Structure 1
Amino acid sequence: MSKPSVVFVTGNANKLKEVQKLLSNVTKYEIINKNLDLEEIQEASLEEIARKKILQAVALLPKGQRIVVEDTALGFDALNGLPGAYVKWFLKKMSLDELVKMLEPFEKKTGEAITTVAYSDENGDIKIFQGITKGKIVKHRGNLDFGWDAIFEPLAEEGNTEALTYGEMTKEFKNGLSHRSKAFKLFEQYLVDN
């Protein structure tokens, strides 16, 4: 008999690989992927964005499926959390260098990387999990293939004693301290317990 599945809704191949690795200890479910065209919700509340995203996915997929979505944000402390959930749109209009330059007038160059995971079980009950990693916004260093990874340097107290940006880290090291790994560890524990 095959295992029940959890459908991870994403069109981002890098994100899919990362999440499959993060959930590799969940053995009672098979993590499968569905690329759905979900509306990009514009909202300040990360939890509300994730909740609306999961409701869209539930409406588009067959009833009774376990579904998970995630949304990631990068907030600058000097800008009261902006660009936040809008970082994807900022990066469509500007380079990483221009994004970092936004902080030039400010002394504070810190921020938070946040992933919010929304899960709907087979009954449609929704749970929200969030992971946050604090860091510094720096000139880009390392691999430029994954969004804003190259400009985010997690703080030493987050476990980044070598002062690397996400873009300079191995996938294994990044998965040990990233905002996404923190959110998916909470989700993983929930799946194991339920």
Structure 2
Amino acid sequence: MLRFVTTNEGKLREAREYLGADAEVRQLDFDTTEIQADDIAAVAAHSARQAYRHVDEPVIVEDSGLFVDALDGFPGPYSAYAEDTLGIERVWKLAEMESDRSASFRSVIAYCDGEDFAATPEPVNRERRGQDQAADERATATTDDQVQEGDLPVKIFEGYVPGELVAPRGEGGFGYDPIFEHDGTTFAEMDAAEKNAVSHRGRALAKFAEWFQER
């Protein structure tokens, strides 16, 4: 059995589609402590370790964000906060002032099952708040920019969709979908099937499913 840490039924259905009935994916409603980090892989890995310790069963955590090149990747891991506080139109106004409006949606799936495997090295967040310092002290540095907690390895799978920011168009989707254009169409102008076909989350899930089936 695999536990997916999410309260989103749509994400759960998508995971089941990619992993198949044999994987027995079940929802886990668990409020992890999200760290302050500038990389979504580090955020997802930390949450995966917390969730595994909570249920003592294999878990996956998904984290995603919108990364705008001209804004040095902002809002990135702070996408939900920026949407809530600024709103998508103000994010678009920031990007509108730039000549380069290229952006990407990125998704990360983090897997932890308490067993040993070749974990994915993670970026070190050197500005992490105090509650996360103990975890850093237990970590073993592999390079100046990567860490791995030896007792709980985590495997990372990433999905990526390139595009650019545009003035809001379309009535569908959610979040930043109206201002993110891929191949001439915003995510908000796509129907569910069209969006799922290029989904950053779907691409990450596909990579994970292939690895998980072999595992």
Q: TM > 0.5 between the two?
A: yes
Conservation of the 8 A alpha-carbon contact between 1:26 and 1:192: no
Identity among equivalent pairs (%): 31
Structure-1 residue corresponding to 2:49: 55
SS, match of residue 146 in structure 1 = coil
RMSD of aligned residue pairs (Cα, Å): 1.7
The residue identity in structure 2 corresponding to 1:11 is T
Structure-1 residue corresponding to 2:214: 193
Q: Is 1:146 matched with 2:174?
A: yes
Q: Is 1:133 matched with 2:164?
A: no
From 184, 187, 199, give the equivalent of 1:166: 187
Uncovered stretches (5+) of structure 1, i.e. residues with no partner: 157-162
Residues of 2 paired with 1:120 and 1:91: CA distance?
29
Structure-2 residue corresponding to 1:85: 77
Equivalenced residues, count: 179
Higher helix share: 2
Alignment of 1:1-194 (within 5 A): 5-21=1-17, 23=18, 25-61=19-55, 63=56, 65-121=57-113, 123=115, 125-143=153-171, 145-154=173-182, 156=183, 163-194=184-215
Uncovered stretches (5+) of structure 2, i.e. residues with no partner: 116-151
Deviation at 1:72? 0.2
**Runs of 4 or more above 6 Å deviation:** none
The residue identity in structure 2 corresponding to 1:139 is A
Residues of 2 paired with 1:29 and 1:17: CA distance?
13
| Per-residue CA distance 1:5-59 (angstroms, 9 max, x = gap) | 21110123333333333x2x52321111011111222101222111111011112
Residues of 2 paired with 1:181 and 1:109: CA distance?
24
The residue identity in structure 1 corresponding to 2:170 is G
> TM-score with structure 1 length normalisation?
0.84
> TM-score with structure 2 length normalisation?
0.77
Residues of 2 paired with 1:75 and 1:184: CA distance?
19
Deviation at 1:145? 4.9
Residues of 1 paired with 2:16 and 2:192: CA distance?
12
Deviation at 1:122? 5.6
Conservation of the 8 A alpha-carbon contact between 2:172 and 2:189: no
